[in-house]
């Protein structure tokens, strides 16, 4: 019985380890509604600076996908904050979202590409 209990506890711990952590996805409509109702949400744009300057979500933070591992923890200070990750078409946002989770961020959502964003885009 003790061995079974130990096995169950170890299974739970391994299953909850950061190595197995994954990001979640959120529809852009849900993201839009969340952004407009909660000022604590972080929108992380992982495109290049040129892409960002051509149009972005108001208040978004620019951190290119290539800079996630080296700069995310100095820019995104709260590992438990809700972070919505967006790129141009959805490929880089998936990569960046997983990198953030691998760094220990816990509330990361891939919201896809800005090309289908339902809200306003700022320049």
Confidence of residue 5 (pLDDT cuts 50, 70, 90): very low
Q: pTM of the full predicted structure?
A: 0.83
Give the sign of the dihedral formed by CA 33, CA 99, CA 59, CA 57: negative
Contact 93, 113 (CB under 8 A): yes
Mean pLDDT of 57-78: 97
Q: What percent of the chain has pLDDT over 90?
A: 80
Is 16 a catalytic site residue?
no
Q: What is the pLDDT of residue 38?
A: 84
Fold of 22-116: Oxidized Rhodanese; domain 1 (3.40.250)
Q: What is the pLDDT of residues 6-41, one digit of tens each?
A: 333 333 344 444 556 899 999 999 999 999 998 899
**pLDDT, averaged across the chain:** 87
Q: What values do phi and psi take at 121, rounded to 5? A: -120, 130
Q: Nearest CA to 56 among 117, 113, 122?
A: 122
Burial class of residue 48 in the structure, from the number of CB atoms within 10 Å of its CB (0-12 exposed, 13-18 middle, 19+ buried): middle
Return the structure tokens found at 106. 């816990």
Number of helices and strands in the chain (H, E):
5, 5
Q: Which of 87, 96, 111, 114 is catalytic?
A: 87
Confidence of residue 109 (pLDDT cuts 50, 70, 90): very high
């Amino acid at each position: 019985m003790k061995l079974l209990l130990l096995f169950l506890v170890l299974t739970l711990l391994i299953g909850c380890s950061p190595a197995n952590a994954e990001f979640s996805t959120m529809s852009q409509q849900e993201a839009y509604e969340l952004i407009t109702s909660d000022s604590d949400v972080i929108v992380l744009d992982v495109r290049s600076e040129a892409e960002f300057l051509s149009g972005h979500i108001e208040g978004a933070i620019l951190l290119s996908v290539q800079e996630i591992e080296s700069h995310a923890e100095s820019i995104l200070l709260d590992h438990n904050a809700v972070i919505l990750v967006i790129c141009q078409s959805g490929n880089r946002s998936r990569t960046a979202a997983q990198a953030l989770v691998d760094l220990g961020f816990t509330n990361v959502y891939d919201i896809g590409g800005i090309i289908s964003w339902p809200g306003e885009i700022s320049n």
